[in-house]
Amino acid sequence: MMSFKNMELNSALISLLVAIGFSVLSFYDTDPEVYLFPRIIAVAFLGFSIVLLFTALKSQKNDSASSTDGDEENCFITVLPGLIVGIIYLLTMDIIGFYVTSYCAFLAFLIIYGKRKATDVPAFIKKSLVAACFIGILYLLFWQGLNVRTPTGWIF
Amino acid sequence: MDFINYFANVFTPYHLLLLFGGTTAGLILGALPGLSPTMAVALVIPFTFHMEPASGLILLGAMYTATVAGGAISAILVNVPGAPANIATALDGHQMAKKGRASEALHYCFLSSFVGGIFGIIILIFFTPPLAELALKFGPTELFWIAILGITVIGTIGSKSVVKGLMAGLFGLAISTIGDNPMLGDQRFVYSEHMESGIHIVVALIGLFAMPQILTLLEECGRPSGHLMGLSEAKWFQSFLYNIKRVKALVIGSIVGAVVGIIPGAGGQIAGLVAYDQVKKTSKNPENYGQGEPDGIIAAESANNAMVGPSLVPLLTLSIPGSPTAAVLLGGLLIHGLFPGPDLFTLHGEVIWTFIDSLIVAQVFMLIIGLFLSRHSGWVMKVPPHYMAASILVLAVFGTYSIQSSYSDVLLMFILGVTMYFANKLGFSAAPMVLGVILGPIAENNFLQGKLIGEATDGVAVYFFSGAINITLIVGIVASVAYSVYANHKMKQREARKA
């Protein structure tokens, strides 16, 4: 798990890894003519990531470590359920159907992040209705209005 | 005068409906804290894909105009700027709201936004044609350097870290190379069937702007929100009479906004703050600023909207956006096959002048609807962030799918978005990345063409680094980087002294 301390050093290291990865993909076993522009980008990217690393190492010597550890970790924990809902939504939309999965994802967001508990029946009904209304509007807009035919999958 | 010839095109029922809808949606979306104008415009782009070019641009222009002004609503009522452009408005606007003068403050916002906006569009009308003429002299190398200049300026000016801004731009360029080589047709970086078509501009726009916003909104759940000020009774006509007498604030705001707008990459947040600072410095009572001084709001908001028109000048002529939202508009132009430059005004003159004329009408709609919302906007502030997050997620998915009816686009949008969310945490911003994706094909095409011509003539290096326009553009690139490095260095010294 990435430490949230020393954000500058982390960003420099990650940038360097991305730069190396992109350089390998651009240079290794590729046609020089086809990959000319990406290779130029890769060299520039590598150069900047090295500069970033030096800057981060230099600032680490001068400054104390960033004290936003707790805040950043709390943010990630808060966001994690939403991210999981999003991933499940993404993986199932093609299989079950765009509209049904969209409704479920919308409702899941309202339940997980709402102030009322999921067992609060009136609140649950209200959230279900809001989700249904929003998806209904999207159906009218995309399916009927713009003739966009989304995958219906098993259901719709 | 072309802008007069096509004015009637704006007054069709369909276009008026788009203006009304776009302005209303823009004001409401702009008022919602946490939703940036850039993201709002990016989300609307898929809808314009199915419209005629002029109609699509009218909708986008109305949204752009209105979101900038709408951000003042939350700035005043909740002390949370709806967009970075409204930071200066919050300084005095919220103080006025605390004193029971919220509606009056909102009146000043929309009235001065209208004045500044009209001034900005006049600049757009008169500056664009001569600059488009200049663009006729641009060959492949000039177009290549222009693309690099655009990315450099957006990546450096306004970025906390020059290196990260430039790297974000390079990353965008790298993403744009996924798919087919433009000259040879061979595939690059296609490791999955989902990447065969490359990354569509709109997929990148929505992924890089909307998706991180969803996760950021979820972060806000559970945090205490700002205290909402009530809306007081205030007659708009009295506010209007007061507003038009504040000539100095209006003039300073409008001129600052126009100048900042025309500078590529600067953006609205700088316009508002600079105008506020200038009007305070020239005031006889600077101690009143920050305590509820109307001139602070008038200068800031007139600057914000005066920026809109001029930010389109370098965009429509040279493909260099004057603000991050203008960068999104560039994507909107390209998906309709409208390429910035002199051809835009010759081959597509009717479309572009109709669009520019519609911005004038959009200002009128913004004023009328904004004044109405001044009395009825409290409910907008009460929308919980997780409702907004859920809405944006579903809208982003449907909007992305509707472009090419491709599930791969949705997958790529999601991956880009989550990556951008974490990249934001590491200090990288989306605007240069998006511009890299948009301008990447232009940069590469012209680079390859320039290379071919250079090899056939005096040599590639000579071809790319000679000529007055090339040298001017290269100097511009170096100057923007040098200026940003210098400005960041001064800022760090100031912070070190304070600590």
Which chain B residues contact residue A112 at CB under 8 A? 386
| Average of per-residue pLDDT across B202-228 | 79
Which chain A residues contact residue B405 at CB under 8 A? 148-149
Look up residue B352 and give its two tokens.
């572009």
Q: Quick one: pLDDT band at residue B474, thresholds 50, 70, 90?
A: very high
**B80: nearest Cα among B129, B119, B32, B148:** B32
Which alpha helices (H) appear in B227-348, and where do they start and end?
Answer: 236-245, 247-262, 268-281, 294-306, 308-318, 324-335, 342-347
The confidence score (pLDDT) of residue B227 equals 58
| Average of per-residue pLDDT across B287-312 | 88
Please answer yes or no on whether A113 and B389 come within 8 Å at the CB atom: yes
Q: Quick one: pLDDT band at residue A2, thresholds 50, 70, 90?
A: very low
User: What pLDDT digit, counting tens, does each position of B353-395 carry?
Assistant: 999 999 999 999 999 998 888 777 666 667 788 888 998 899 8
A9 touches chain B (CB under 8 A): no
Which position has the higher pLDDT, B281 or A69?
B281
pLDDT higher than 80, residue B263: no
Give the number of residues written for chain B.
499
Identify the weakest region by mean pLDDT among B85-99, B273-287, B376-390: B376-390
The confidence score (pLDDT) of residue B315 equals 86
| Average of per-residue pLDDT across B259-271 | 73
Query: Which residues, in sequence order, are CB contacts of A91 under 8 Å at separation 6+?
Result: none
The CA angle B174-B473-B459, to the nearest 5 degrees, is 75
Which chain B residues contact residue A31 at CB under 8 A? 186
Identify the weakest region by mean pLDDT among A10-14, B55-59, B106-110, B191-195: B191-195
Query: What's the rounded Cα separation, in Å, for the pair A8 and A128?
Result: 43
Which chain A residues contact residue B159 at CB under 8 A? none
Max Cα distance, chain B (Å):
73
Q: For residue B450, with 0-12 CB atoms within 10 Å meaning exposed, 13-18 middle and 19 or more buried, which class applies?
A: buried
Closest residue of A to B387, CA-based? A110
User: What pLDDT digit, counting tens, does each position of B132-161 carry?
Assistant: 777 778 889 988 998 898 888 778 765 678
Please answer yes or no on whether A48 and B173 come within 8 Å at the CB atom: no
Among B144, B148, B167, pick the best mutation site for testing chain A contact (most A Cβ within 10 A).
B167
The confidence score (pLDDT) of residue B205 equals 84
The confidence score (pLDDT) of residue B159 equals 67
pLDDT higher than 50, residue A67: no
Please answer yes or no on whether A52 and B215 come within 8 Å at the CB atom: no
A130 touches chain B (CB under 8 A): yes
The confidence score (pLDDT) of residue A88 equals 95
Does an H or E element contain A131, and which?
Answer: helix A121-138
A153 touches chain B (CB under 8 A): no
pLDDT over 70 percentage in chain A: 88
Look up residue B103 and give its two tokens.
């509606």
* Three-state SS at A37: helix
Give the distance from residue A97's alpha carbon to the nearest chain B alpha carbon, in angstroms: 12
Closest CB to B170 among A8, A44, A55? A44
Size of interface A-B (CB pairs under 8 A): 135
Q: What integer best gives the mean pLDDT of chain B?
A: 85
The confidence score (pLDDT) of residue B134 equals 78
Closest CB to A106 among B47, B166, B390? B390
Query: What's the rounded Cα separation, in Å, for the pair B240 and B298?
Result: 11
Which position has the higher pLDDT, B472 or A65?
B472
The confidence score (pLDDT) of residue A110 equals 92
Closest CB to A148 among B214, B405, B444? B405
Task: Kindly write down the DSSP assignment for every residue of B147-191, as one continuous string.
Answer: HHHHHHHHHHTT-S-HHHHHHHHHHHHHHHTSEE-TTT--EES--
What phi, psi does B180 have (nearest 5°)?
-90, 140
Q: Averaging pLDDT over each range in B282-296, B321-335, B439-453, which range is the top one?
A: B439-453
Give the distance from residue A7's alpha carbon to the nearest chain B alpha carbon, in angstroms: 6
ipTM of the complex as predicted: 0.89
What are the CA-CA distances from residue A16 to residues A35, A58, B119 (Å)? Answer: 20, 16, 46
pLDDT higher than 80, residue B242: no
Query: What's the rounded Cα separation, in Å, for the pair B441 and B144?
Result: 10
Q: Are B98 and B229 in contact (CB under 8 A)?
A: yes
Query: What's the rounded Cα separation, in Å, for the pair B57 and B60?
Result: 5
Residue B369: alpha-carbon gap to chain centroid: 21
Q: Are A3 and A10 in contact (CB under 8 A)?
A: yes
| Average of per-residue pLDDT across B465-488 | 88
Please answer yes or no on whether B426 and A25 come within 8 Å at the CB atom: no
User: What pLDDT digit, counting tens, does each position of B69-83 carry?
Assistant: 888 888 888 777 777
Beta bridge partners of B180: B187
Give the distance from residue A151's alpha carbon to the nearest chain B alpha carbon, in angstroms: 9
Per DSSP (E only), the strands in B374-463 are: none
Closest CB to B189 among A14, A25, A86? A25
Closest residue of A to B169, CA-based? A45
Query: Which residues, in sequence order, are CB contacts of B156 under 8 Å at separation 6+?
Result: B162, B165, B166, B265, B480, B481, B483, B484
Query: What's the rounded Cα separation, in Å, for the pair A85 and A75?
Result: 16
Look up residue B446 and give its two tokens.
């012209």
Q: Are B68 and B310 in contact (CB under 8 A)?
A: no
Q: For residue B192, with 0-12 CB atoms within 10 Å meaning exposed, 13-18 middle and 19 or more buried, which class applies?
A: exposed
Please answer yes or no on whether B390 and A110 come within 8 Å at the CB atom: yes
Please answer yes or no on whether B425 and A72 come within 8 Å at the CB atom: yes
Closest residue of A to B392, CA-based? A106
